[in-house]
């Protein structure tokens, strides 16, 4: 299940399906993908929550409008209703997981950067397994076989030595041209800085002696990756090579538009290598990429906004805001807003507020709300509250703002949501506030929800939802039990019976037994009996036998 969610996250951010699948399965930089994907996890969790809530609320609405049924029909309805709180609980858990993932993101920028680099792919898919021997009579055949076996066994030093011997001892062999590539690949897998430089030297020899070698395309990609790794380790010459390569390929005329799953594009590898470079060298190239407006450069611009977000400079927020405002590609705009969530500081918060004021795309605004929720300062919190209060905003987006406010469990946010509930007339927004307060915990919120349920100033459906979320939020059992005898509203009593059936507290079983034995309303007694039949408490069996034997 986690793998599927991570694939969805990666594809949602613009990764190819193939890259996303590899990203979800593979550790990067010593961190698990679950931690490294944290930057996107919260956003996806929110989507899961919204979908789950919509389905749960629809199910409850249908059930509330359905007359009481008997026999098998009643049992079927009960089973369907029983599934609703499980769905709500799963939604709440997804919300909590989203918040935890976001916290992990803030604490692990290096892991996030490594994971995101994996999402964006490594350019052309290099050859990684030498082909089987194909020239049995060739003088280098047996040596090639040994080198190939050593590489496949993971003995990279020996493989590099044997492939080098193929090219030096048998330069006219059918194996010689590609042996230099495999020598470089084995050195690359060895990983030492000396080995990486030796690998570059082997690739240069291949380009000079065997320009028509079948692995020359792979060699270019491998050289780009090696230079990127050396640049990360502080090699200034390698960094200059990466910069020249990135500048050249991003300026080069487009030869057809690559699809999202096309890995055979050297520009992708060159851009990814910029992640390892210093800010002064990388940022001018990234600005050039983002300035392009030809349709075929959209894939590069999507990668560029991520790379800009990882180069933390005073101009990072401004560049991302410009992309969010002006880029013609909706995915570029959305990703620019998303990555603003990871750029700390008032400049980023100002940029996100500007997006909320000026953007016309609802999805971009939704990402801006999420991004604001990831900033921990008072300015971002106030911006989120102001948007939830705004009558000019759409009800859907105000509901999103309420959701993210609810994920920050502070007394100030709880009080804000309770005040907003009394001010708004929008039923959907009221429901979202009830849910958010239930997720915040605290006994004060539980009692407030019960007060809403028992009051007479709200529509009955709002009152029933308040009661449901009070029970789901862990309101004290004694308080919930006491509500039944206090209530004079039949529908509220029905909701309480259902709430009792969903909690594993003996006090609720006791109350269901009391209702089944003494309630004067026959239909309410039937409901209590039905839910007792679903209980595994041995006392429930005794009561059912008692009723049958009357």
Assessment of whether the complete model's pTM goes beyond 0.85:
no
pLDDT recorded at residue 265: 59
- Residues 324-344 have pLDDT tens digits of 888 888 888 888 888 888 777
pLDDT band at 248 (very low <50, low <70, confident <90, very high): low
Q: Which among 367, 365, 372 is positioned nearest to 343, based on CA atoms? A: 372
Helices (DSSP H) in 359-426: which residue ranges? Answer: 362-373, 378-389, 395-406, 411-423
Q: Which among 6, 39, 44 is positioned nearest to 25, based on CA atoms? A: 6
Both structure tokens of 116: 């995101």
Mean pLDDT of 226-251: 72
Residues 95 and 73: their CA atoms lie apart, in Å, by 34
The single-letter DSSP state of residue 297 is G
- Residues 33-57 have pLDDT tens digits of 333 233 333 433 443 344 344 334 4
Q: Which among 175, 179, 273 is positioned nearest to 221, based on CA atoms? A: 273
In this structure, is the dihedral angle defined by the CA atoms of residues 455, 461, 465 and 467, taken in order, positive or negative? positive
Among the residue ranges 91-100, 249-258, 353-362, the one predicted with the least confidence is 91-100
Both structure tokens of 411: 């007394």
Contact indicator for 252, 266 with CB cutoff of 8 Å: no
Both structure tokens of 526: 């039937």
Most distant pair of Cα atoms in the chain: their distance: 101
Residues 464 and 177: their CA atoms lie apart, in Å, by 76
**432: Cβ–Cβ under 8 A, 6 or more apart, which residues?**
53, 399, 402, 403
How many CB atoms lie under 10 A from the CB of residue 521? 12
- Residues 25-36 have pLDDT tens digits of 433 333 333 332
Contact indicator for 69, 77 with CB cutoff of 8 Å: yes
Chain centroid to Cα 133, Å, comes to 44
- Residues 407-464 have pLDDT tens digits of 887 888 889 999 998 888 888 888 889 988 888 877 677 788 888 888 888 888 888 8
Contact indicator for 353, 387 with CB cutoff of 8 Å: no
Percent of the chain with pLDDT over 90: 13
Contact indicator for 56, 157 with CB cutoff of 8 Å: no
Both structure tokens of 279: 């800010």
Residue with tokens 């979202």: 432
Contact indicator for 218, 126 with CB cutoff of 8 Å: yes
Q: Considering only CA atoms, give the Rg of the chain.
A: 31
**326: Cβ–Cβ under 8 A, 6 or more apart, which residues?**
none
Residues 466 and 446: their CA atoms lie apart, in Å, by 9
pLDDT recorded at residue 187: 92
In this structure, is the dihedral angle defined by the CA atoms of residues 161, 164, 169 and 172, taken in order, positive or negative? positive
- Identify the residue with better confidence: 88 or 445: 445
Residues 496 and 116: their CA atoms lie apart, in Å, by 47
Burial grade of 348 (CB within 10 A; 0-12, 13-18, 19 or more)? buried
Percent of the chain with pLDDT over 70: 70
Chain centroid to Cα 503, Å, comes to 31
- Residues 158-180 have pLDDT tens digits of 999 999 999 999 999 999 999 99
Mean pLDDT of all residues belonging to the chain: 73
């Amino acid at each position: 299940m986690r793998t599927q969610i991570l694939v969805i996250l990666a594809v949602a951010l613009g990764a190819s399906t193939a890259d996303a699948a590899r990203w979800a399965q593979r550790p990067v930089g010593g961190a698990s993908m679950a931690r490294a994907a944290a930057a996107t996890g919260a956003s996806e969790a929110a989507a899961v929550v919204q979908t789950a809530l919509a389905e749960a609320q629809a199910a409850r609405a249908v059930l509330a409008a359905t007359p009481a049924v008997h026999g098998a029909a009643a049992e079927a309805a009960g089973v369907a209703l029983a599934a609703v709180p499980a769905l709500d609980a799963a939604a709440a858990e997804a919300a909590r997981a989203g918040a935890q993932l976001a916290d992990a993101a803030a604490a692990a920028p290096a892991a996030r950067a490594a994971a995101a680099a994996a999402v964006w792919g490594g350019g052309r898919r290099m050859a990684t397994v030498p082909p089987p021997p194909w020239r049995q009579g060739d003088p280098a055949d047996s040596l090639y076989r040994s080198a190939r076996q050593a590489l496949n066994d993971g003995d990279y030093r020996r493989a590099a030595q044997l492939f080098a011997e193929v090219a030096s001892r048998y330069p006219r062999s059918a194996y010689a041209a590609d042996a230099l590539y495999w020598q470089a690949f084995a050195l690359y897998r060895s990983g030492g800085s000396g080995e990486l430089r030796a690998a570059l030297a082997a690739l240069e020899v291949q380009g000079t002696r065997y320009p028509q070698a079948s692995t020359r395309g792979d060699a270019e990609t491998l050289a780009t990756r090696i230079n990127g790794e050396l640049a990360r380790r502080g090699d200034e010459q390698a960094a200059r090579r990466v910069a020249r390569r990135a500048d050249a390929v991003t300026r080069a005329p487009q030869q057809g538009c690559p699809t999202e799953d096309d890995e055979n594009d050297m520009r992708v590898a060159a851009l990814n290598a910029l992640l390892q470079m210093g800010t002064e060298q990388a940022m001018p190239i990234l600005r050039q990429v983002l300035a392009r407006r030809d349709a075929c450069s959209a894939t590069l611009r999507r990668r560029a906004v991520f790379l800009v977000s990882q180069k933390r400079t005073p101009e990072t927020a401004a560049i991302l805001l410009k992309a969010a405002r002006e880029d013609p590609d909706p995915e570029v705009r959305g990703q620019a807003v998303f990555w603003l969530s990871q750029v700390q500081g008032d400049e980023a918060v100002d940029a996100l507020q500007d997006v909320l004021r000026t953007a016309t795309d609802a999805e971009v605004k939704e990402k801006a709300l999420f991004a604001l929720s990831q900033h921990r300062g008072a300015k971002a919190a106030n911006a989120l509250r102001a948007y939830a209060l705004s009558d000019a905003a759409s009800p859907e987006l105000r509901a999103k703002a309420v959701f993210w406010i609810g994920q920050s469990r502070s007394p100030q946010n709880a009080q804000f949501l309770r005040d907003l509930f009394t001010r708004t007339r929008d039923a959907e927004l009221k429901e979202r506030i009830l849910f958010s307060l239930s997720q915040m915990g605290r006994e004060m919120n539980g009692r407030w929800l019960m007060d809403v349920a028992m009051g007479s100033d709200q529509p009955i459906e709002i009152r029933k939802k308040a009661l449901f979320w009070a029970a789901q939020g862990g309101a004290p059992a004694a308080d919930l039990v006491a509500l039944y005898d206090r209530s004079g509203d039949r529908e509220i009593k029905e909701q309480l019976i259902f709430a009792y059936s969903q909690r594993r507290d003996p006090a609720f079983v006791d109350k269901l037994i009391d209702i089944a034995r003494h309630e004067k309303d026959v239909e309410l007694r039937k409901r209590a009996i039905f839910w007792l039949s679903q209980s595994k408490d041995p006392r429930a069996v005794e009561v059912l036998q008692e009723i049958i034997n009357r």
